[in-house]
A = this chain, B = another copy of it.
Amino acid sequence: MKHSFGSDNHSGIHPVILKAIEHANTGHQVAYGDDEFTAKAQAKFKQLFGTDTEVFFVFNGTAANVLCLKALTESYHAVICADTAHINVDECGAPERMTACKLLTVKTPDGKLTPALVKPLLHNFGVQHQVQPKVISISQATEYGTLYRPEEIKALADLAHAHQMYLHIDGARLANAAAALNLPFRAFTVDAGADALSFGGTKNGLMIGEAAVFFRPELARDFLYKRKQFMQLYSKMRFVAAQFDAFLSNNLWHQIASHANTMAQLLAKRIRQEAPKVHITQAVDVNAVFALIPEAAIEQLQQKYCFYVWNEALHEVRWMCSFNTTEADIDEFIQALKAL
């Protein structure tokens, strides 16, 4: 297959991550998280996010999101999110199936919630006939490749807390956000008031692994049972832990994420310069480029390249870059685009 611009999970395993798996494959280790690799990776998270942090590894992003939300809610609660949120459109109803919460969705221009957009949904508290809003869930970076500034997240966290609600961040691409903002992870998560975080690994070069992160221990009470019951307890957990340990060591995460971001920005720049008829629809804050191209061009380009049509009605497409996208890949793609 040609280079895929379909998703950052079309890339494989970053070589350093693969080495970490090999390195962890020595001798016996107790299963289910009581091993030394898990302890080490957990310590890394506490370093990054503070000592009150509790971190739990799970298999995929849907599980990280669902288990974070489950820890924060009862079945009669509601979760407020953008209508473009991954939890709303790309998880086959897993959040509803697993938490039973209703998702209250908000239309946004760029995938970002704001207090003004959220406030109209903050009513009916105390009325037994209606679901009770309990969580504001945002994605950082968003599904549109846009970013929240720390103060924007803080404003949402403050709004949530003022209503005895929580702020959850879907950070499937948190590393891309941190690299783009040039800020430490904690600046726009725990320090901005977030309560829970889905920390993504798979889209940034891990073979497998995501983390459910809680910034106050009481939110993680009994989480072990929830993870197990939701079928997300990995027996040979050392192999996920070792990947996260490597990812968070020696700035590997930054190298991976900033490279992907840079490639997307290069792609956008060259499109603007060389294919001006292609309209880029969203700010290219991280590693995604959203663009409008003619319907006929979509089909032709998809014969060579894998990518997704984001909005069929508008002919809006998404091109993702990853840790192993090269300048040559971009160049070749631009040529193909220009040839249409």
Contacts and interface: CB of A to CB of B under 8 A. Distances in A.
Interface of A: 1-4, 6-7, 9-13, 18, 21-22, 24-32, 59-63, 66, 74-76, 78, 89-94, 96-98, 100-103, 120, 123, 128-132, 202-203, 207-208, 222, 224-236, 238-239, 306, 312-313
A239 B29 contact: no
Given A93-B101, A202-B235, A235-B60, A228 B29 contact: no
Contact of A131 (B26, B92, B208): B92
Contacts of A222: 74, 76
B1 A27 contact: yes
A229 to B, nearest CB: 5
Contact of A93 (B78, B123, B207): B78
Contacts of A233: 60, 62, 128-129
Nearest to A61: B235
A235 to B, nearest CB: 4
Contact of A239 (B7, B75, B208, B235): B208
Contacts of A89: 129-130
B7 A31 contact: yes
Given A10-B30, A66-B231, 6 more contacts: A12-B239, A59-B234, A75-B226, A93-B131, A94-B229, A208-B236
